[in-house]
Homo-oligomer: A and B are copies of this chain.
């Protein structure tokens, strides 16, 4: 894996690069659709590549471990073969799901006991076995095991938790480096994760600790968990100023279209978020002019195309009235159309950011477009 920095914006910390993986080159900044259990919800792989042009997807270790189980994936020859997906994949470490989804979590210095949200069965994740699990899943990029703190989080808890995450990180690297041969016939790369809640000194300390590892990329975790946007930006800015400029920075779980543009300007290169897909399934559409709630009565007789500025075929082929009808009637096609639209919008927005950084007018464009993005249509 290698990262080539192609251009840095002059007015902001925005950057454009190419991240080379065993399954293809990823142009950054990049948005990674979330493929929780080995598929992005309500969209086919074909539409994900041919229409959305997703360069990489994220999948969740916690979910894959529970279903279908690691043996099913490893016997298939890894996640790419199991899914029938040839482009890059990133897996998270399960830390976030243990925090957000599992029942009866219990942390020890060795790892996390948790109960499956599906059947209540008991499991244990440690830095070591999470690395082993991710090697068997076979994603191109795998993540260190961390604790994701709540917001708000008391200083003492945040500091102790950060210490735990750092000690786990050390163990993750030991485990990862103990197995130098690829599990499959291609390389995988481990990204460490900065924590530290919303405390500047902790974020600095964590960024310095994480940056001390020689890695092909670095992640920022524990944000977008309920804190105000300004605080998220402040923490991201601090961390980006410390992480190596020559390597990609991945801001986990962020966010709205406006969040993405702001964080690109702070120097973030990679994003993932369930928002475009989850909100699509609830009838919320993101557009350059603002947010549409397609279930709104006002669209009942609106036969105009879904998004006249949209870049995917669904935007032109279906009307708002028709899409509303599908959602009102709870037809699967409603979420299918909205998912294509939202993902295509996210990918297109980030591609435009890339182009504007290359052209040198990113800052002006961002200021202009950001005002509209969060308005309600």
Q: Which residues of A contact B (CB under 8 A)?
A: 37-39, 41-46, 67-68, 72, 75-76, 81-84, 300-301, 303, 313-314, 317-319, 321-322, 324-326, 328-329, 331-333, 335-337
Chain B residues within 8 Å of A67, by CB: 325, 328-329
Say which residue of B68, B81, B313, B336 sits within 8 Å of A336 (CB atoms). Answer: B336
Chain B residues within 8 Å of A337, by CB: 44
Assess A333 versus B301: contact at CB under 8 Å? Given A84-B319, A317-B84.
no
Chain B residues within 8 Å of A300, by CB: 68, 72
| Residue contact A82 to B38, C-beta cutoff 8 Å | no
Chain B residues within 8 Å of A76, by CB: 303, 319, 321-322
| Residue contact B329 to A37, C-beta cutoff 8 Å | yes
Roughly how many angstroms separate A276 CA and B332 CA in the complex, as a whole number? 16
Can you tell how many copies of this chain the complex includes? 2
Chain B residues within 8 Å of A44, by CB: 314, 333, 336-337
Q: Please, which residue of chain B has its CB at the minimum distance from the CB of A337?
A: B44
| Residue contact A319 to B37, C-beta cutoff 8 Å | no
Chain B residues within 8 Å of A326, by CB: 39
| Residue contact B72 to A317, C-beta cutoff 8 Å | no
Q: Please, which residue of chain B has its CB at the minimum distance from the CB of A325?
A: B68
The 5 A-B residue pairs whose C-beta atoms are closest, nearest first, are: A68-B325, A42-B332, A39-B333, A84-B317, A37-B329
Q: How far is the CB of A375 from chain B (nearest CB, A)?
A: 27
| Residue contact B84 to A318, C-beta cutoff 8 Å | yes
Q: How far is the CB of A306 from chain B (nearest CB, A)?
A: 10
Chain B residues within 8 Å of A68, by CB: 300, 321, 324-325, 328-329
Roughly how many angstroms separate A251 CA and B333 CA in the complex, as a whole number? 28
| Residue contact A336 to B332, C-beta cutoff 8 Å | yes
Q: How far is the CB of A339 from chain B (nearest CB, A)?
A: 9
| Residue contact A38 to B322, C-beta cutoff 8 Å | yes
| Residue contact A333 to B82, C-beta cutoff 8 Å | no
Roughly how many angstroms separate A326 CA and B39 CA in the complex, as a whole number? 8
Assess A331 versus B72: contact at CB under 8 Å? Given A84-B319, A336-B336.
no
**27 pairs of residues in contact across A and B, judged by CB atoms under 8 Å:** A37-B329, A38-B325, A39-B326, A39-B331, A41-B331, A41-B332, A42-B332, A42-B336, A44-B314, A44-B337, A45-B317, A46-B313, A67-B328, A67-B329, A68-B321, A68-B329, A72-B325, A75-B301, A75-B303, A76-B321, A76-B322, A81-B303, A84-B318, A84-B322, A332-B332, A332-B335, A336-B336
Chain B residues within 8 Å of A324, by CB: 68
Name which of A81, A322, A328, A335 has the most chain B CB atoms within 10 A of its CB.
Answer: A322
Q: Please, which residue of chain B has its CB at the minimum distance from the CB of A83?
A: B322
Q: How far is the CB of A297 from chain B (nearest CB, A)?
A: 12
Q: How far is the CB of A354 from chain B (nearest CB, A)?
A: 28
Name which of A67, A84, A335 has the most chain B CB atoms within 10 A of its CB.
Answer: A84
